[in-house]
Amino acid sequence: MISRRDFLKMAAAAAGAAALPAAFARGAESDRPNIVIFLCDAFSARHASLYGYPRRTTPFLDQFAEKATVYHNHYSGSNYTTTGTASMLTGMLPWKHRAINYGGLVAREFAHDNPFTLLGSAYERLAFAQNPWPERLMGQYSGDVDRFLSYYSYSLLHAGPAQNLFQNDFAVASVALDDFSMAAQHGAYPGSSIFDYLFKSAVLSAPDDRRAIRYRAGFPEIMDPGYYVPYLNEEVYDGVFNEITDLQAGGKPYFAYFHLYSPHFPYRPRNDYRQRFNGDGYVPVVKPVHPLAGGDGLSQDYLNGQHDLYDRQISQIDDEFGFLLSRLESSGALDNTYFIFTSDHGELFERGFVGHGFQFLYEPVVKIPLIIRAPGQTRRVDVDAPTSNTDILPTLLSIANKEIPAELDGLVLPELGGTADPDRAIFSMVAVDNSSFGPLYKAVVSMRKGIYKIIGYFGYDLEDEFELFHLDDDPEELNSLVKKSPDVFSLMKDELLAGLNESNKPFLR
Amino acid sequence: MPSWLTRWISDKTPTKKDLLAVYSVSVFFVYSWTLFSSFYRMPSWLFAHTFPEILSFYAYAFTVNFIESILLLILVLAWDFSLLFFLRDKRGFQTRAVLLAAAVMISVIEQLVSYGSYETIDLFLKNRSVWWLVTVTAGSLVSAIVSRLGWVRGVLEGFAERASIFMYIYLPLAALSVAVVLYRNIF
């Protein structure tokens, strides 16, 4: 039976579609294709049925992929938002762009390397990051964004953040106000006392409303950096549709970047998803606790519980994505649009650890989905060659016929103008404990090359500084081959260290 | 205005010197808290941000502090004026105001620190009214009683007087901070 909400959505979609043809006709006059990046934060490719996950978590993504290019070995430059997103937006590896600390910023000399600035004013440019950290990254060039939505947009809170007053100095104001003055929620001492108290009282009291009945375990919330901002995916996805509709109506080619928070922790699927996958017999592989997980790590029961919740959250957003896609398709909004579905990093439920960040670079936390539908694409294309999210920016520039700056590390993606290189070295790294102004002494760096992956732990007190895995034979990364395959290890290690040393050179002068 | 009313208001209104002393104490509490908490952030700031950026963080924080210090002064004055007649004594204004400002700041900071984690959101919301009931009651009584003790009055008035040095340090900093914030956002 059709629910009231679905009926209203379909009615709105029909009304929107009826009102749009004239606007789309104007949009079609331009030769330049529109570009939409649709990014779901913390979405691990390893949890998507599209990529072979046993649970059917993403039927609508599977459907979308039927007329799109699917990249099967796509890696984030890092394992958490700031660094991973900065890699995608700058087309550079973290050891170059230097947004390596939680909530950090891209080095000033590379801040202009971003899609908004490089695509230029020929495009109408929209940025909406529900996560304040990527919002801050884009705040470094907010002058090049035509419509810059705050992370509060489409949330259950109607109060705008204070830094809306400071659009010309967005990035710095965001750190000063979000991270410092009003950031008591993470156990840190807030810089402001009275304002923080008033803000906290207002923010935390706000979300009690009738919609709570559909979320018995609480609303999903944006948790970084200062306060937990509740939101509903239904309303956020409606907002995305409305924004794209408005851009279409504008008649100008557009570039839109949507960085949506779900399925990021805390995993709070709606009630009707909370039993999904119960009793389906799927049991995650149990892996030994990593020495950096801290003590005995989290219990396997807890890990499995969070794992299930995460899958349910993904399942819900897949449904929302499916509904959004059907509306966009029926309205014609995708006819002249490159639509890119991806993430900034994955999520981990193993080795005594839940979440992302910290010092882990195993596949579930760095392997992310990348599905790109080109205008008029009618069949599925699968790309197995490893790719990096640093490839997104050069690919966008290639699509838009713009010059690709020489300093970018990324390459144009295969099937979109680039060539597949199965032996290309793909790096990911996390260096939150390292200064962004110095050489990387304390960092974890991984390199995938061909079927092998090496992980190096630098500056950590570990018995084994390196791990080496054969990803075809050992996709769960359980058996390190450091001692068993010394030749491969030596080659991989040398290349990894060469990359690291090269990146450190500018800081050693 | 009838003269009796003028005299009554005058009797109840603190002098300019009193106001400055209380404002100095407000400034001391508000800015000192910010400086104190900033020391915890400094290591991560030094990792991730340039020196001009860090100075800009302080500029924003001190701008916020400036507004907060005025808010605190207004709050304390309103609280003091609302004290029942028998609790009030013009001579003890400075003492009461210092104690009331301290009560507000302690209550605010203690709540922020005690209920700072995600798990304590419900407790924070549930206990807010109790916290303020206790703060207002205890603050009113203690300030009214203590302000009648000569030696305590001496100590607290001395503190308020000495706190004026902070006003002369922090207010120019606040002015500079406002200028920096304006500059960064206009140019």
Give the pLDDT confidence score for residue B93 in this predicted structure.
83
Give the per-residue SS3 of A229-251. EEECHHHHHHHHHHHHHHHHHHC
Q: Is the pLDDT of residue A287 over 90?
A: yes
Q: Is the pLDDT of residue A119 over 90?
A: yes
Give the pLDDT confidence score for residue A182 in this predicted structure.
79
To the nearest 10°, report the CA torsion of A229, A234, A235, A239: 120
Give the pLDDT confidence score for residue A366 in this predicted structure.
98
Give the pLDDT confidence score for residue A207 in this predicted structure.
59
Banded model confidence at residue A28, pLDDT cuts 50, 70, 90: very low
Give the pLDDT confidence score for residue A163 in this predicted structure.
55
Q: Is the pLDDT of residue B131 over 70?
A: yes
Displacement of CA A250 from its chain's centroid (Å): 27
Put simply, whether the predicted model's pTM sits higher than 0.90 gets the answer no
| Residue from the list B38, B72, B113 with its beta carbon closest to the beta carbon of A191 | B38
Which amino acid is located at A480 in the chain? S
Q: Is the pLDDT of residue A471 over 60?
A: yes
Instruction: State whether residue A164 sits within 8 Å of chain B by CB.
Output: no
Pairwise CA distance, residues A101 & A260, whole Å: 21
Pairwise CA distance, residues A153 & A237, whole Å: 11
Do the strands A74-75 and A229-230 form a parallel or antiparallel pair, or are they unpaired? Answer: unpaired
Determine, for residues A197 and B111 on separate chains, whether the beta-carbon distance falls below 8 Å. yes
Interface probe with A: pick from B26, B30, B33, B37, most Cβ of A within 10 Å: B37
Banded model confidence at residue A25, pLDDT cuts 50, 70, 90: very low
Give the pLDDT confidence score for residue A487 in this predicted structure.
97
User: Residue B141: CB partners within 8 Å, gap ≥ 6?
Assistant: B87
Which amino acid is located at A476 in the chain? E
Give the pLDDT confidence score for residue A206 in this predicted structure.
62
Which run of H or of E encompasses A91? Answer: none
Banded model confidence at residue A12, pLDDT cuts 50, 70, 90: very low
In this structure, of A127-136, A211-220, A235-244, the range with the lowest mean pLDDT score is A211-220
Kindly tell me the burial class for residue B173, based on how many C-beta atoms sit within 10 Å of its own C-beta (0-12, 13-18, 19 or more): middle
Which residue of chain A is at minimal alpha-carbon distance from B61? Answer: A181
Residues A365-374 have a mean pLDDT of 98
- Token pair of A162 as six digits: 């204070």
- Token pair of B75 as six digits: 């709050």
Do the strands A34-40 and A74-75 form a parallel or antiparallel pair, or are they unpaired? Answer: unpaired
Banded model confidence at residue A319, pLDDT cuts 50, 70, 90: very high
Banded model confidence at residue A34, pLDDT cuts 50, 70, 90: very high
Percent of chain A with pLDDT strictly greater than 90: 75
Kindly tell me the burial class for residue A113, based on how many C-beta atoms sit within 10 Å of its own C-beta (0-12, 13-18, 19 or more): buried
- Closest among A486, A441, A449, A440 to A466, alpha carbons compared: A486
Report how far apart, in Å, the C-alpha atoms of B74 and of each of A267, B19, B39 are.
43, 10, 28
Determine, for residues B185 and A169 on separate chains, whether the beta-carbon distance falls below 8 Å. yes
Please tell me the distance in Å from A35's CA to the nearest CA on chain B.
30
Pairwise CA distance, residues A15 & A489, whole Å: 60
Which residue of chain B is at minimal alpha-carbon distance from A100? Answer: B48
Which residue of chain B is at minimal alpha-carbon distance from A182? Answer: B61
Instruction: State whether residue A179 sits within 8 Å of chain B by CB.
Output: yes
Banded model confidence at residue A4, pLDDT cuts 50, 70, 90: very low
| Residue from the list A180, A192, A223 with its beta carbon closest to the beta carbon of B68 | A192
- Token pair of A251 as six digits: 């008649």
Please tell me the distance in Å from A432's CA to the nearest CA on chain B.
9
Residues A300-314 have a mean pLDDT of 97
Q: How far apart are the first and last CA of chain B?
A: 50
Q: Average pLDDT, whole number, for chain A?
A: 90
Residues A319-329 have a mean pLDDT of 97
Interface probe with B: pick from A82, A172, A178, A436, most Cβ of B within 10 Å: A172
- Closest among A100, A195, A20, A211 to A440, alpha carbons compared: A100
Which amino acid is located at B91 in the chain? R
Banded model confidence at residue A7, pLDDT cuts 50, 70, 90: very low
ipTM of the complex: 0.89
Q: Is the pLDDT of residue A1 over 50?
A: no
Determine, for residues B67 and A223 on separate chains, whether the beta-carbon distance falls below 8 Å. no
Condensed to tens digits (0 to 9), the pLDDT of residues A394-422 reads 999 999 999 999 999 999 999 999 999 99
In this structure, of A106-110, A310-314, B12-16, B30-34, the range with the lowest mean pLDDT score is B12-16
* Chain A neighbors of B180, CB-CB under 8 A: none
Q: Average pLDDT, whole number, for chain B?
A: 88
Pairwise CA distance, residues A195 & B175, whole Å: 19
- Token pair of B96 as six digits: 């009461």
**Range with the largest mean pLDDT of A26-40, A134-148, A221-235, B147-161:** A134-148
Q: Is the pLDDT of residue A99 over 60?
A: yes
Interface probe with B: pick from A189, A201, A205, A433, most Cβ of B within 10 Å: A189
- Token pair of A150 as six digits: 């705050």
Banded model confidence at residue B114, pLDDT cuts 50, 70, 90: confident
Determine, for residues A176 and B109 on separate chains, whether the beta-carbon distance falls below 8 Å. no
Query: Which A residues 16-45 touch B at CB under 8 Å?
Result: none
Give the pLDDT confidence score for residue A186 in this predicted structure.
56
Pairwise CA distance, residues B115 & B119, whole Å: 8
Max distance between CA atoms of chain B, in angstroms, equals 65
* Chain A neighbors of B125, CB-CB under 8 A: 204-205
Residues A300-322 have a mean pLDDT of 97
Which strands make up the sheet holding A69-71, listed edge to edge?
A147-149, A124-129, A254-260, A34-40, A337-342, A370-373, A69-71, A381-383
| Residue from the list B29, B50, B68 with its beta carbon closest to the beta carbon of A195 | B68
Query: Which A residues 102-161 touch B at CB under 8 Å?
Result: 102-105, 108
Pairwise CA distance, residues A409 & A391, whole Å: 8
Condensed to tens digits (0 to 9), the pLDDT of residues B32-63 reads 999 999 998 898 899 999 999 999 999 999 99
Condensed to tens digits (0 to 9), the pLDDT of residues A425-437 reads 999 999 999 999 9
Please tell me the distance in Å from A187's CA to the nearest CA on chain B.
5
Please tell me the distance in Å from A430's CA to the nearest CA on chain B.
14
* Chain A neighbors of B184, CB-CB under 8 A: 166, 168-169, 172
The string of DSSP letters for A149-196 reads: E-TTTTBS--PPPGGGGGGGGHHHHIIIIIIIIT-GGGSSPPS-SHHH
Q: Is the pLDDT of residue A8 over 60?
A: no
Determine, for residues A188 and B117 on separate chains, whether the beta-carbon distance falls below 8 Å. no
**Range with the largest mean pLDDT of A50-59, A166-175, A220-229, B45-54:** A50-59
* Chain B neighbors of A184, CB-CB under 8 A: 112-113, 116
* Chain A neighbors of B48, CB-CB under 8 A: 100-105, 435-436
Which residue of chain B is at minimal alpha-carbon distance from A104? Answer: B48
Q: Is the pLDDT of residue B87 over 80?
A: no
A367: DSSP letter: B
| Residue from the list B56, B128, B187 with its beta carbon closest to the beta carbon of A201 | B128
